[in-house]
Amino acid sequence: SQTIHQWPATLVQPVGSPLSLECTVEGTSNPNLYWYRQAAGRGLQLLFYSVGIGQISSEVPQNLSASRPQDRQFILSSKKLLLSDSGFYLCAWSGNYGYTFGSGTRLTVV
């Protein structure tokens, strides 16, 4: 069966520090992968999606970037975090039964 792993679960980072969040998928090949952000008590905002290695589409201009170095690995990065980058970051892959989300990373920028 397909599983998705996302880490870390929580992260507190100072303003201006770099960020790297990793997501890996098991049990499927060539998945469509996504990064979403959820502000506290809000909906989900699509940040990036990828349909294959090295193929990244950005949905909104922002302080973040994404990379897909391997088929089942998706990385969200920032060189310098802003306070506004705080939120709940969710990785997901899409299959026949909707999105399957990772457990998420709760990022607080202080």
Partner 1 sequence: GQQVMQIPQYQHVQEGEDFTTYCNSSTTLSNIQWYKQRPGGHPVFLIQLVKSGEVKKQKRLTFQFGEAKKNSSLHITATQTTDVGTYFCAGARTSGTYKYIFGTGTRLKVLA
Q: Which is nearer to partner 1, 84 or 103 (CB)?
A: 103
Spatial contact of 15 and 102, defined as CB atoms under 8 Å apart? no
Q: Which residues contact 77 (CB under 8 A, 6 or more apart)?
A: 18, 19, 20, 21, 64, 65, 66, 67
Smaller CB distance to partner 1: residue 14 or 98? 98
Strands (DSSP E) contained in the chain are 3-7, 10-13, 19-26, 32-38, 44-52, 55-58, 65-70, 73-78, 87-95, 98-101, 105-109
Q: Which is nearer to partner 1, 51 or 82 (CB)?
A: 51
Identify which of residues 73 and 100 has a Cβ nearer to partner 1 in the complex.
Answer: 100
Under rule CB under 8 A, which residues in 72-101 are in contact with partner 1? 90, 94, 97-101
Which span sits near partner 1 by CB under 8 A: 12-20, 41-49, 65-73, 79-87?
41-49
Interface ranges with partner 1 (CB under 8 A): 32, 36, 41-46, 49, 51, 57, 59, 90, 94, 97-104
